[in-house]
Structure 1
Amino acid sequence: MPVTLKLVALSFLLSLFSVESLLADDSRNKPIDAKATKETKALYYNLRKIDRKHILFGHQHATEYGHGWAGDENRSDVKSVSGSHPAVVGVDFSGLSGRPAEAIEKTKTSLRKQITDTYNRGGVTTVAWHFSNPASKGGFYWVDSVSAPAVSMLIPGGSHHQHYKEILRTVGELANSVKGNDGTLAPVIFRPYHEFDGGWFWWGKPHCKRDDFTSLWRFTVSYLRDSLQVHNFIYAFSPDCLFKTEADYLDRYPGDEWVDLVGMDDYADFGRNGHYNVAAGIQKLKIVADYAQKSGKLAAFTETGLESIPDSTWWTNTLLKSLKAEKMRLAYVLVWRNDMRSATHFYAPYPGQASVPDFLRFYQDPYTWFEADLPNMYRRRWFF
């Protein structure tokens, strides 16, 4: 065979292999909801493509309030420092239950605005749920002698199951109302029952059986998706950092068919109270990222941060180095909120804060993407 024909044949075979590889990758590159909206599927797909070379930076409650302010239009402390909002904005469903109807409606209005504003700008929303105990007083924390071990009460057959369905209907009503300017539903990354491996929340490991927890997770997903027709959620599973092995991490995992994204929350290894065990934190992140690749899931560093940021080079010397250490594929990293009143409870810099110069180096690194860096996340893209 002449050399030119050999080259043509080789090129053809390589193109076939490339297409087959893309199709094979695509077969697992979908949300667990077969009826997910086109935009939700696109977001999921694009996050899995982007994480090969980049990571999205996120901040909890970034556009709702910040250090010394609240409710300003199109403002965030991150934008005030860098010129761009974070790529991922965290909100919370905490106000959707356990309150008077009027207060819940007000919360829904606020959440609807936050989610749709982020969607209209092209950013990504992730939702935590500091869920006030529906079976007792005590709020979302576990309070000895006050809090009820409610997980077993919420699952099918439990004493508060019907009440839980009512709460989920409120969540579903909101989810099906967050329409952007283009008339489509805004996708969100929904992260219920986080940090369940600790004991500080009423859904924590010491307060419920493993099977009850996984039953609650599966019912929650099924009821929202199949009964309430919520098709714009990406479901995120995120324990705290109390695991050391993959088996530990998966101890209360409900199964691959019930989870889209695996993550972890870890403040303890990254400087909390002056304690650093960064090597351990990296190893835990690697366990999460490796499982995601093995199971065809997204992975993320769902919460971290250093309160008050006393280490002025934390962004590049601790966080960025950790994210890059093992060439892990992580869709996003999110730091916690900046309280509007507290002088010390903040996790992202604000103008004049000591870590601003280092944060700008973090911002300018090609690996980190902020909102201004994002392509259209809601239209499927083959290449980045």
Structure 2
Amino acid sequence: MKDHLQGRLAVEPKLINPAASDNAKRLMAYLCSIYGTRTLTGQQYGVVSTPEMEVIRLATGKYPAVGGFDFMNDSPSRVERGSVPTDTPLAIDWWRRGGIVTFCWHWNAPKDLIDEAPDNGWHRGFYTTATTFDIAAAMNDESSEEYGLLMRDIDVIAVNLKRLQDEGIPVLWRPLHEASGGWFWWGAKGPEPCVKLWKTMYDRLTNLHGLNNLIWVWNGQHQDWYPGDEYVDIIGEDIYPPERTYVSNIDRFRQALGYTAANKLIALSENGPLPDPDKMAEEGAPWLWNCTWYGGFVCSQDADGQWGVGEQYTEREMLLKYYAHPYTLTRDELPDLTAYPL
């Protein structure tokens, strides 16, 4: 046992929502049971094309345990401009095939998009550089149009989350991600308005919309942005080492341990290159799951347009090692999460 992990891996399978659904409780119980001894393989679906899962299966013979999805194209300011939501049906299919579902939300600002080519088009409206939307002003005035639009957008996402709940699907829900970086509008004005929005979103989705299938994954990546133990089920870190750099990311794991004195599950909620599972075990960085980002992080297209393993970030050899390693779990190794003992 690494010194920094002494007593920190025993996490009680209790969710922050006292009315959590049975399947959410089952998933949490399973996650707590493997924490510190196994890591769930994971992969984000592409937003435009989605070859990632089949590329991994053809290369390794396995599907990842966790499928990553995004409500990006459900954002009303994108739908208004012609984007087509895709990920809710994909997630339903993934769950039916035995996988675990995690969702993030690249939330296009609800108004004040700069919409200037090439770098700040409307489709990049979640970036601070592509909008003048002011989260601080919005959260300071609940009678404002801006605040109302934030609530409208949350309500739209709630409809999708309700579809997932109706299917019995527990969701590892990771909104307002990477906030402390400041590159997304929800993090552009410092911790206070972002934390307020997190708490408001929790209250609205849980108490107004009755969404009890959510396991709340906080991914603020800095202690000042931590909303409190009563608002966080799981802590996530997003880490992008240089190309073909296979490390345990132990420093970031230790950082995540330091956000709270409470024992919380900690996941590698986004990654570029895969972490080396041998180093994770040796150095004491037992990430609960990883979720490799999509596109070039895992696959590439040849001259004929055929998809295959892309080795720019993770070489095939490491991909094969990761998916075959005794420390990692793939989709075929998951229990029936609709019947897991509570």
TM-score above 0.5: yes
1:149 is matched with which residue?
A: 134
1:225 is matched with which residue?
A: 206
1:7 is matched with which residue?
A: none
SS at match of 2:216: strand
Asked if 2 retains the 8 angstrom alpha-carbon contact of 1:140 and 1:202, the reply is yes
Q: CA deviation at 1:103?
A: 5.2
1:117 is matched with which residue?
A: 93
Distance, in Å, in 1 between the alignment partners of 2:171 and 2:310 is: 32
Instruction: Sort the Cα spacing of 1:158 and 1:332 in 2 relative to 1 into closer, same or farther, 3 A.
Output: farther
SS at match of 2:205: helix
SS at match of 1:203: helix
Instruction: Sort the Cα spacing of 1:63 and 1:119 in 2 relative to 1 into closer, same or farther, 3 A.
Output: farther
Q: CA deviation at 1:341?
A: 9.9
Distance, in Å, in 1 between the alignment partners of 2:110 and 2:236 is: 26
Note the 1:334-353 alignment, pairs <5 A.
334-338=291-295, 350-351=308-309, 353=311
2:180 is matched with which residue?
A: 197
Letter in 1 for 2:90: Q
Cα deviations by residue, 1:206-247 (Å, 9 ceiling, x for unpaired): x2142212111100111000011111111111135xxxxxxx
Instruction: Sort the Cα spacing of 1:278 and 1:112 in 2 relative to 1 into closer, same or farther, 3 A.
Output: closer
Instruction: Sort the Cα spacing of 1:156 and 1:78 in 2 relative to 1 into closer, same or farther, 3 A.
Output: farther
**1:178 pairs with 2:160:** no
Query: How many correspondences in the alignment?
Result: 314
Instruction: Sort the Cα spacing of 1:343 and 1:199 in 2 relative to 1 into closer, same or farther, 3 A.
Output: farther
Distance, in Å, in 2 between the alignment partners of 1:167 and 1:185 is: 23
SS at match of 1:178: helix
2:126 is matched with which residue?
A: 140
Instruction: Sort the Cα spacing of 1:215 and 1:156 in 2 relative to 1 into closer, same or farther, 3 A.
Output: farther
SS at match of 1:331: coil
Instruction: Sort the Cα spacing of 1:201 and 1:285 in 2 relative to 1 into closer, same or farther, 3 A.
Output: same
1:61 is matched with which residue?
A: 45
2:155 is matched with which residue?
A: 169
SS at match of 2:17: coil
Asked if 2 retains the 8 angstrom alpha-carbon contact of 1:88 and 1:124, the reply is yes
- TM score, norm. by length of structure 1: 0.73
Cα deviations by residue, 1:299-342 (Å, 9 ceiling, x for unpaired): 10111113xxxxxxxx5xx5324422333443201110025997
Q: CA deviation at 1:101?
A: 6.0
**1:296 pairs with 2:263:** yes
RMSD of aligned alpha carbons: 3.1
Q: CA deviation at 1:380?
A: 3.1
Cα deviations by residue, 1:31-85 (Å, 9 ceiling, x for unpaired): 111111100111011111112310001111069834xx59xxxx52211211222
**Rg (Cα) greater in structure:** 1
Asked if 2 retains the 8 angstrom alpha-carbon contact of 1:261 and 1:297, the reply is yes
Cα deviations by residue, 1:271-326 (Å, 9 ceiling, x for unpaired): 25x8x6958x312212324657x4132210111113xxxxxxxx5xx532442233
Give the unaligned 5+ runs of structure 2.
1-9, 115-124
SS at match of 1:78: helix
Note the 1:1-384 alignment, pairs <5 A.
28-61=12-45, 65-66=49-50, 76-97=54-75, 98-100=77-79, 106-107=84-85, 110-138=86-114, 139-143=125-129, 146-154=131-139, 157=142, 159=144, 160-178=146-164, 184-204=167-187, 207-240=188-221, 249-267=222-240, 270-272=241-243, 278=247, 281-289=249-257, 294-306=261-273, 315=274, 319-338=276-295, 350-351=308-309, 353=311, 355-381=315-341
Letter in 2 for 1:230: L
Distance, in Å, in 1 between the alignment partners of 2:140 and 2:100 is: 31
- TM score, norm. by length of structure 2: 0.81
Distance, in Å, in 1 between the alignment partners of 2:106 and 2:158 is: 17
Asked if 1 retains the 8 angstrom alpha-carbon contact of 2:42 and 2:289, the reply is yes
